[in-house]
Amino acid sequence: MAESSSHVLIFPFPVQGHVKCMLQLAELLCLSGIPFLTFLNSDHNHRRLLLDSHFLASFPGFRFASLPDGLPPDHPRSGIRIFELFDSISAVTKPLFRDMLLCGRLNCDGRPPVNCIIADGIFMSFAIDVAEEVGIPLVSFRTFSASCFWTFLCIPRLIQAGDLPIRGDDDDMGRAVSSVPGMESFLRFCDLPSFCRAADPSDRALQIVATETHLTTRAHALILNTFDELEGSALSHIRRHIPNLYAVGPLGAFLHAKLPESSRRSSTSLWQEDRTCMAWLDARPPKSVVYVSFGSITVLTRDQLLEFWYGLVNSGKPFLWVDRPNSVAGEQQVPKELAAATRERGYVVGWAPQEEVLAHPAIGGFLTHSGWNSTLESLVAGVPMICWPYFGDQQMNSRFVGEVWKVGVDMKDCCDRVIVEKMIRDVMEVRREEVEKSAMQMAETARKAVAGGGSSRASLDRLVEDIKLMTGRRNATQ
C-alpha cells in the first residue's frame, strides 16, 4: 500500500520557536500513522537539541538528520542578527540540501525515498525550488498566525494603497489600517508586523518577508498552527489564494489529546529546562504567580530589563522569570533592592518547561513577548496575558490578545515600570474576572478543535490522507 512507504522530510528554519512547533508536527504525524519521518535540522541546533531517546524509541520510523547553517558556533542567531542566519542558509545550506535529496542519503537502511517535504515557509523558500527540481511535492508550514500570514500576503496591497511606508509621528501609529481585508475594524499601524515599520518600501527585511510569503503560493499546500474558531476570517481570505490549507492547531493541545495522560512528552527544547521551578510553583497559592518569558530570540537592553524588573517587584506579585542565556545586552548589575525582592518572592531560571508551567494552578498571568507558540500555549492553558511584543509577528498577536480575543492586555511600544505594574495588576486584580472568563472560554474552544469532530482534527485527517496520496502518485511515476 502507498501509505506503508510514506516518508516525510520536515525542514524547519533553525531557531527554537520554529524547531519546537515543527517537532510537534512531526510527533503528531508519527502518531497519525506516517511510518517514516526525517527531521532535518542545522548542525548547530542538532548538537543543542535534547535528543529524547523516549521519542526515538516510540517511533522507530523517526530519525534526525542535519546540515550546516554556515555560521560559526558562537554566532548569537537572535535579535536583529537573525537575517544573517537567513543569508547563510541561502548560500550554504541550499546546495547541500539539494545534494542530500539527489544522492539518496535519506533513504538508507531500507527506508523508502522521501516523497513529501514539509518545509518552513519563512526564510526557506529555496526548498520549493529544490523540491520542484527533484520532483518531490512540498507542503509549506508557517509558524506564524494565520492573521500575520494574511497581512504579509497583503504587503503589496499596503504599499499600493500608500499605507507603507508608514509616515507621520507617534500619533500616526494609532491610525486604522484599511488595506488588510477582514481587519479594518481593529488593526492599527502600530499593530502591523515589525517589518512593516521600515522607512522605505524597498527595505530588505520587508521585501524578504513579502517575497517569501508570495512564494508560499507555489507550494502544494499550506499548514498553519491555528484553528478555524480562532482565526476564521484570516483563514477564509488565505484560502482564496491557497485553497489547499490545513489549520491543525494548537499542536500542543493536539498532542495532549492524542497521548495518554501517563505518557511522557518528548523534549523540543534547545536549552536545558530547569524543572526546579515546578516545586517552587507547588508552594504558591492558586492564580497568584506572574510567569515571565520573552522567548528564544528577544534581546533586552539593560534599561528594559530594569523597567520590567521594577514593575514586577512593585506589583507585589510572586513571579517566575525565564532569564535565557544572552537575553540581555551588556552588563547586568542588579540593584540591591531588586535582588532582595526576588529572593523573597521571585524565582529565576534559564529555561522552563513552558507548557507545564502555564498549566500549573499557581499561574495567574503571563508576561510575554507574544510569540505565536507562547500565545497559543497560553490560550490552551486559559492563562491571561500581559503582552510586550518585540519582533516580527508579535505586534499583531498582542493586538488580537487585547482587542479581538480579549484574553489579556497589550503593552505595545512601552517599557515603563509604572505601566508594567499597572498592567499586571489589571490582569491579576482589577480585570481578573473578565479576562479569566474569556481565557477559559478560549481554552475550551481550542480543546474542542482538536477533539474528535473538531475542525483541526478534520484538517489533520485530510493532511495525512493527502500525504499518502502524494506517496502513491510519486510511486506510480518512478
Least-confidence region, from 56-70, 218-232, 293-307: 56-70
pLDDT tier for residue 1 given thresholds of 50, 70 and 90: very low
pLDDT at residue number 265: 55
CA gap 355, 5 in Å, rounded:
34
pLDDT tier for residue 389 given thresholds of 50, 70 and 90: very high
One DSSP character per residue, 325-380 reads TT-B-S-----HHHHHHHHHHEEEESS--HHHHHHSTTEEEEEE---HHHHHHHHH
pLDDT tier for residue 391 given thresholds of 50, 70 and 90: confident
Is the dihedral angle over the CA atoms 334, 337, 339, 345 positive or is it negative?
Answer: negative
Asked about 7 being catalytic, the answer comes back as no
CA gap 360, 285 in Å, rounded:
11
For residue 63, the surrounding DSSP H or E stretch is strand 62-67
Please, are residues 128 and 215 in contact by the beta-carbon 8 Å criterion? yes
Beta bridge partners of 66: 41
The SS3 of residue 111 is coil
pLDDT of 18 higher than 70:
yes
Write out pLDDT tens, residues 403-457: 999 999 999 999 999 999 999 999 999 999 999 999 999 999 999 999 999 999 9
- Compute the average pLDDT of residues 172-184: 92
CA gap 243, 68 in Å, rounded:
34
% of the chain residues with pLDDT over 90: 72
pLDDT of 261 higher than 90:
no
Asked about 303 being catalytic, the answer comes back as no
CA gap 185, 160 in Å, rounded:
20
Task: Determine which one of 7, 18, 44, 46 is catalytic.
Answer: 18
Least-confidence region, from 166-175, 321-330, 341-350, 390-399: 166-175
CA gap 343, 347 in Å, rounded:
7
User: CATH fold of 2-266+453-477, please?
Assistant: Rossmann fold (3.40.50)
Which 8-state DSSP code applies to residue 176? B
pLDDT at residue number 259: 73
Beta bridge partners of 139: 118, 221
pTM for the model stands at: 0.93
Residues in contact with 220: Cβ distance below 8 Å, sequence separation at least 6, in sequence order: 137, 138, 139, 244, 470
pLDDT at residue number 201: 86
Between 52 and 380, the more confident residue is 380
Write out pLDDT tens, residues 45-82: 888 775 554 566 678 899 999 999 999 988 888 767 88
Between 472 and 463, the more confident residue is 463
* CATH for the stretch 276-446: 3.40.50.2000
Least-confidence region, from 176-185, 227-236, 265-274, 289-298: 265-274
Q: What are the respective helix, strand and coil percentages of the chain, to the nearest 5?
A: 50, 15, 35
Q: Kindly report the CA angle at 457 between 454 and 461, in degrees rounded to 5?
A: 140
- Compute the average pLDDT of residues 193-199: 89
For residue 414, CA distances in Å to 334, 385, 389, 418, 420 come to: 22, 15, 10, 10, 9
CA gap 358, 256 in Å, rounded:
14
Write out pLDDT tens, residues 281-298: 999 999 999 999 999 888
The single residue listed with the C-alpha cell 502600530 is 190
pLDDT at residue number 38: 95
Alpha helices (H) in 154-216, listed in sequence order: 155-160, 204-215
pLDDT tier for residue 478 given thresholds of 50, 70 and 90: low
The SS3 of residue 175 is coil
Please, are residues 40 and 53 in contact by the beta-carbon 8 Å criterion? no
What amino acid occupies position 476?
A
pLDDT tier for residue 262 given thresholds of 50, 70 and 90: very low
Task: Determine which one of 7, 46, 69, 120 is catalytic.
Answer: 120
Please, are residues 391 and 402 in contact by the beta-carbon 8 Å criterion? no
Please, are residues 69 and 92 in contact by the beta-carbon 8 Å criterion? yes
CA gap 183, 195 in Å, rounded:
18
The SS3 of residue 299 is coil
Q: Count CB neighbours of 425 within 10 A.
A: 18
Please, are residues 141 and 22 in contact by the beta-carbon 8 Å criterion? yes
Q: Indicate if 276-446 has the same CATH topology as 2-266+453-477.
A: yes
The residue ranges of every structural domain in the chain are 2-266+453-477, 276-446
CA gap 113, 103 in Å, rounded:
10
